[in-house]
A and B are shown apart, each in its own frame.
Chain A
C-alpha cells in the first residue's frame, strides 16, 4: 500500500537527518522524499512517499508525530492528492534521432531547456508514472544523466464550509 505523508517540520539543521533516520531505524520504506521551505521560512514541508501494510502505515504516522521537530503530519492516498514530480534529463542526440526526441517531448509535454551540438537537457513535470514512462521512451537513445525531485503532493481541495 502506497501512502503519502506531508510533514511540516521546524526548519532547523539536522531535522531532515532525524526524520530520515527514523525511517531507516524502524525499517520503514522511503519511496521518495522531497523537502522545501513553506510560505513560513521557519517551517519546512517534507513530502514522503512510503509503502507498507496497514500497521506500518499507522506506525509511520505515529512515529513522525512523536518527533519533537515535527509540527504536523498529514497523510493521504495518492488518489486523494495532486502529485507532481519534476525531472531534468540530459541525453546525447544526433541528426537521426533529433526529430524523434522532439516528437516524444511534444507528446509528453516536455521542454528542451538547454542544448549543445550533441547534447540536450529536457525538463518534464508530471505525475510520477508518466515521468517513468518518459524515461522508458528515451531508453533507446543515450541517457547521460537524470535528476528527479521526488514526488511533491498536496491533498485535493475540499470546499470549505
Chain B
C-alpha cells in the first residue's frame, strides 16, 4: 500500500462517495488510486469551482464536501472557493498535491506554499511529511471540518508522500486532540436566564442565521417559535429555516432586507441572535440590536459572541441542543399584541416595485418560478442584484435556499448547484444568476453535460454588472465605470454549443408557459430572462 492508497481508503472510511477535482502531476498518485474505489470523481473546469461544488454538496447532504487539486496554480486557484466556504462555515476537505518533499522551499515547478497562503481562510491545514501520518491527519481533518464551528480544512500532500510505501493501514476510530474540544451543550444557567427574560419580554424576536442549518436545528427552532409564538427573522444565510410563508416568519434583515424584518429587529425588546455573526450587511449598526433591549447571542463559536456586539446573555453551544433545552423550560410568555403588530407591518411595509412592462420583472419572475418549483426544490442564488431579488422574492416551502452570503463570491451558483444535485438526484435544483456571474462559471456547463448533472440555470440578463451599476447610480451620479457587459455571447448559441436546451423570456406575457417548459423535465436547461438594464433592487 502506498500513501495515495491510504488517502482514498481514508475517504472511503469517512463515507465519501464524490470527489470534485482537477488533476495535475503532483496529485496523480491520488487520482490513480481512486480508480480502485467506488468513489465518483467529477472533473470540473476550473479549480475554484471544485470547492464551490463540494460546498453545494456539503450544504445539501450535511456531509463534508471533498475536492482534490494539484500543486501550484491548482492549489492557488481553489483559494477563492475555500475562502467562500470559510466565510459561510461550510465543511470542506481540500486535498492538494504538492511537489516532492525534497524540493519544498526551492521554488520548484508548480510549487506554492498553499498552507501558508490559505492560513486565514481555513479552520486548519496540514502539510503531510510522513505517509504513516495519513490516517491520523485525515481522521482529524474530517472531525475538525464537521464539528464545532464548521469550515474548510486543507491537506497538502507532497507527491513522494503519496508514492511512499506504508507498512500498515489502520484508521483511528477516535480523534485525540488536546487543543480542540468544541462546546456543544449550552450552559444551563444561561438557558434559564433566557427563559426568564422571555417571560418578561413583550416583544421577543429570534434572528436566525446559517448556523441553524449547520447544526441541523431548523426543526427545533421552528418548534420553539411555534410553541411560544415567537416571531422569527433571518439573515441571508438563514433564509429557509422558516418557510417563507410561515405565520411566524417576517423576512430577511439587513441593508438589503425586508423593511418589516428590520423594523422588528429595531423594536423588539428581547432579541435572540442564533448562529449569526452580526456581520455588517445584516446589522449595519450594532447599537440597533443592543439599545433598549436584551440581546441573547447563541453561537457554537465563542469568538463570535462579543466580536461585533456585546450581548447581555452570551450562550455558547450548538443551536439544536440549546433549543431542545429551551423548549423544556415551560416558559409562560404572552405577546399576542406584538405578533399582531408585526403582521400589520408585514402588510403595510410591502415593497412596491414599478416594473418596466417591456422586460421581465425579476421580482415577479422569481416568485412565479418558486411557486412552480417542486416543494422541496433547491434554489441556488448567485451574487449581485439577482441575489437580492432572490432573497426578497423566492418563496421557500420545504426546500433549501443556497447562496454565498459571507464572501459574496460571483459565479458560486452554477458549481454549487452541480454539487447540490449530485448530493440528492431526486431534488430539483435551479441556479439563478446574472449575466456577469454566469460568465464567471459558464465553463461548468461542460461539467454538467459530461457527468450528466441536470441542473436548471436562469440567467437574468441586463448587460450590466447590475449591482455595481446600481451603486454607481446612487453613489457616483450615473458615472458608470467598467460595468458594461457588451460583448457577451449569444446564450442561445452557447447553450447549443454545450448541447443544452435553451429558452428565452422577453417579458412577462408568457411567463407561465416558459417557466413550465423550463421546469418540466429533469434535464439541464438554460433560461435567459431579459430584464431592464436600469432596474434597481432599491
A75 to chain B, nearest CB (A): 15
The residue from B124, B301, B302, B307 contacting A68, defined by CB atoms under 8 A apart: B124
* Chain A residue with Cβ nearest B123: A68
Q: Check if B303 sits within 8 Å of A66, measured CB to CB.
A: yes
Of the stretches B174-182, B410-418, B517-525, the one at the interface is B174-182
Chain B residues within an 8 Å CB radius of A71: 178-179
Of the stretches A56-64, A85-93, A100-108, the one at the interface is A56-64
With A17-B116, A18-B119, A68-B124 as known contacts, state yes or no: A10 contacts B179, CB within 8 Å.
yes
Q: How far is the CA of A10 from the CA of B178 in the complex (A)?
A: 10
> Is there a chain A Cβ closer than 8 Å to B406's Cβ?
no
Q: How far is the CA of A14 from the CA of B177 in the complex (A)?
A: 18
> Is there a chain B Cβ closer than 8 Å to A69's Cβ?
yes
* Chain A residue with Cβ nearest B177: A68
A18 to chain B, nearest CB (A): 6
Chain A residues within an 8 Å CB radius of B124: 68
> Is there a chain A Cβ closer than 8 Å to B120's Cβ?
yes
B158 to chain A, nearest CB (A): 14
Chain B residues within an 8 Å CB radius of A21: 119-120
* Chain B residue with Cβ nearest A25: B120
The residue from A14, A63, A68 contacting B144, defined by CB atoms under 8 A apart: A68
* Chain A residue with Cβ nearest B149: A66
Q: How far is the CA of A145 from the CA of B120 in the complex (A)?
A: 35
B468 to chain A, nearest CB (A): 27
With A18-B119, A25-B120 as known contacts, state yes or no: A66 contacts B301, CB within 8 Å.
yes
Chain A: residues with Cβ within 8 Å of the partner, total of 18
B111 to chain A, nearest CB (A): 16
Q: Check if B303 sits within 8 Å of A62, measured CB to CB.
A: yes
Chain A residues within an 8 Å CB radius of B62: none
* Chain A residue with Cβ nearest B302: A62
Consensus secondary structure, chain A interface? helix
> Is there a chain A Cβ closer than 8 Å to B115's Cβ?
yes
The residue from B127, B177, B303 contacting A63, defined by CB atoms under 8 A apart: B303
B219 to chain A, nearest CB (A): 29
> Is there a chain B Cβ closer than 8 Å to A155's Cβ?
no
The residue from A25, A55, A59, A68 contacting B180, defined by CB atoms under 8 A apart: A68
How does the 8 Å CB contact mask read for B294-323 relative to A, with 1 for contact and 0 for none? 000000011100110010000000000000
> Is there a chain B Cβ closer than 8 Å to A70's Cβ?
yes
> Is there a chain B Cβ closer than 8 Å to A65's Cβ?
yes
Q: Check if B178 sits within 8 Å of A55, measured CB to CB.
A: no
Chain B residues within an 8 Å CB radius of A66: 301-303
Q: How far is the CA of A21 from the CA of B118 in the complex (A)?
A: 11
Q: How far is the CA of A59 from the CA of B310 in the complex (A)?
A: 11
The residue from B116, B302, B306 contacting A55, defined by CB atoms under 8 A apart: B306
A-B contact pairs, 30 of them (CB 8 A): A10-B179, A14-B116, A14-B127, A17-B116, A17-B119, A18-B119, A21-B119, A21-B120, A58-B306, A59-B303, A59-B307, A62-B302, A62-B303, A62-B306, A62-B307, A63-B303, A65-B302, A65-B303, A66-B301, A66-B303, A67-B179, A68-B123, A68-B124, A68-B177, A68-B179, A68-B180, A69-B179, A70-B179, A71-B178, A71-B179
Other A-B pairs beyond A17-B119, A62-B306, 7, CB < 8 Å: A10-B179, A25-B120, A59-B307, A63-B303, A65-B303, A69-B179, A70-B179
Interface residues of B (CB under 8 A from A): 115-116, 119-120, 123-124, 127, 144, 177-180, 301-303, 306-307, 310
